[in-house]
């Protein structure tokens, strides 16, 4: 690889330069890679920049198989017969979940911001979609990441619902990991929209950051709503809606569409985990208090929730892995946007990676902070992802208990 030339990049939110990759008109910076009316991802490369490929093999998904405790629709598993054995989602309520409309808004935001260099008006119109009543912004402002310990009872406001404690300003500051929506994700989106609407910096970079941050929100929301489904049965429908827009298995939208395009197996594993949640709710249709489920019902939920969590992490890992693999093929503004997406989405893996293997996790966290990654750095990170997330199942992972139900 050393005999070929690939230019490391540095990124900022204002002026982003890719040394050795001038635009077609001889300029560099915000317009590099998109001059002459070409879109940032048109497939053209910027003059003077040599696209390269990383030297990695494809993951061996054939070696993966469900665990004994996993729900397998219609299969020979440990679960009693239930409505989810059809392999498709059966709604708990008749009305479509509001999460599906939020995924529709995300799809519109993608149309406005991706596939071309977006204008200030595109950002304004995308911001309108983001801020729809009861839409994405309204849920981001309160979204909790249930992978982290719950807010202490002493810090919870008794006048605020159990799953909206991150709307309490003091909790956002004191529990930034738990309150990921308002503390981490929303600031990325707000800053990128503000810059895009005022014409500051590279619009493709801002669009990429918005895209990655909203997908992060959808990822966190699918896991969170599966847990609040214990007390709020309608959230069972919501958690699937956040992942795929409440669509059939074969035609997902939103995050599900991106994951299925990379790994149909990852997508199917996520859907099967969600169907495990649906089977559990079918077996326990009336209970809404955790203690009332009994030891058997609690264990069944924890198994399904962990099955879903492992599959979601594998799907997210495959998504990040694909972006890392594609990154050296980009030049100019396209490369800057690619790295901006990776720097938002990559760290989402850090907590789970650290629990699985601290050494491999350190390789990943070092890459996200790297302002001039080489092809060898990317290859090392891909190898770490493959070692950390080899399958949608994880027999050695600890079950998160009591963080949200």
In-domain check, residue 343: yes
In-domain check, residue 404: no
In-domain check, residue 159: yes
Distance CA 201, CA 32 (A): 12
In-domain check, residue 92: yes
Distance CA 44, CA 37 (A): 12
In-domain check, residue 11: no
DSSP letter assigned to residue 78: S
Distance CA 397, CA 191 (A): 36
In-domain check, residue 397: no
In-domain check, residue 180: yes
**Considering only CA atoms, which of 157, 213, 151, 153 is closest in space to residue 188?**
213
Q: What is the DSSP string of 231-274?
A: T-THHHHHHHHHHHTT--TTS--HHHHHHHHH-HHHHHHHHHHH
Residue 287 near residue 347 (C-beta atoms within 8 A): no
> Along the 405 residues of the chain, how does pLDDT read in single tens digits?
332 223 233 333 332 323 333 233 333 333 333 323 333 333 344 556 788 888 898 899 999 999 999 999 998 899 999 999 999 999 999 789 999 999 999 999 999 999 999 999 999 999 999 999 999 999 999 999 999 999 999 999 999 999 999 999 999 999 999 999 999 999 999 999 999 999 999 999 999 999 999 999 999 999 999 999 999 999 999 999 999 999 999 999 999 999 999 999 999 999 999 999 999 999 999 999 999 999 999 999 999 999 999 999 999 999 999 999 999 999 999 999 999 999 999 999 999 999 999 999 999 999 999 988 999 999 999 999 999 999 999 988 876 655 455
Number of domains in the chain: 1
Residue 129: domain span: 45-388
Please, which residues have CB within 8 angstroms of residue 364's CB and are 6 or more apart in sequence?
346, 349, 350, 353, 381, 384, 385, 388
pLDDT at 7: 29
Residue 229 near residue 277 (C-beta atoms within 8 A): yes
In-domain check, residue 50: yes
């Amino acid at each position: 690889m050393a005999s070929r030339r690939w230019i490391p990049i540095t990124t900022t939110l204002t002026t982003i330069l890719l040394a050795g990759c001038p635009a077609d008109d001889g300029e560099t910076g915000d317009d590099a890679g998109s001059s002459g009316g070409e879109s940032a991802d048109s497939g053209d490369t910027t003059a003077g920049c040599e696209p390269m490929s990383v030297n990695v093999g494809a993951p061996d998904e054939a070696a993966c198989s469900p665990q004994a405790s996993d729900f397998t629709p219609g299969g020979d598993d440990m679960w009693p017969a239930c409505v989810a054995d059809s392999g498709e989602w059966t709604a708990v309520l008749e009305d479509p979940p509001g999460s599906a409309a939020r995924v529709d808004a995300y799809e519109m935001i993608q149309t406005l911001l991706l596939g071309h260099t977006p204008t200030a008006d595109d950002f304004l119109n995308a911001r309108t979609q983001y801020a729809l009543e009861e839409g994405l912004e309204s849920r981001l402002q309160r979204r909790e990441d249930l992978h982290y310990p719950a807010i202490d009872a002493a810090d919870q406001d008794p006048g605020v619902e159990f799953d909206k404690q991150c709307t309490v300003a003091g909790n956002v500051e004191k529990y930034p990991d738990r309150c990921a929506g308002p503390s981490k994700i929303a600031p990325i989106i707000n800053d990128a929209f503000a810059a895009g609407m005022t014409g500051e910096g590279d619009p493709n970079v801002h669009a990429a950051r918005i895209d990655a941050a909203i997908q992060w929100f959808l990822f966190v929301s699918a896991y969170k709503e599966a847990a609040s489904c214990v007390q709020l049965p309608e959230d069972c429908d919501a958690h699937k809606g956040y992942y795929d827009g409440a669509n059939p298995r074969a035609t997902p939208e939103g995050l599900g569409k991106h994951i299925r395009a990379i790994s149909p197996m990852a997508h199917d594993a996520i859907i099967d985990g969600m169907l495990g949640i649906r089977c559990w709710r079918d077996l326990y249709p009336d209970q809404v208090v955790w203690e009332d489920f009994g030891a058997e019902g609690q264990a069944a939920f924890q198994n399904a929730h962990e099955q879903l969590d492992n599959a979601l992490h594998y799907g997210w890992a495959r998504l990040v892995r694909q972006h890392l693999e594609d990154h050296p093929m980009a030049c100019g503004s396209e490369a800057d946007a690619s790295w901006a997406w990776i720097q938002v989405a990559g760290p989402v893996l850090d907590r789970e990676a650290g629990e699985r293997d601290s050494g491999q996790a350190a390789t990943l966290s070092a890459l996200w902070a790297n302002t001039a990654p080489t092809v060898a750095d990317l290859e090392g990170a891909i190898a770490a992802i493959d070692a950390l997330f080899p399958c949608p199942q994880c027999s050695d992972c600890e079950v998160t208990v009591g963080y949200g139900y």
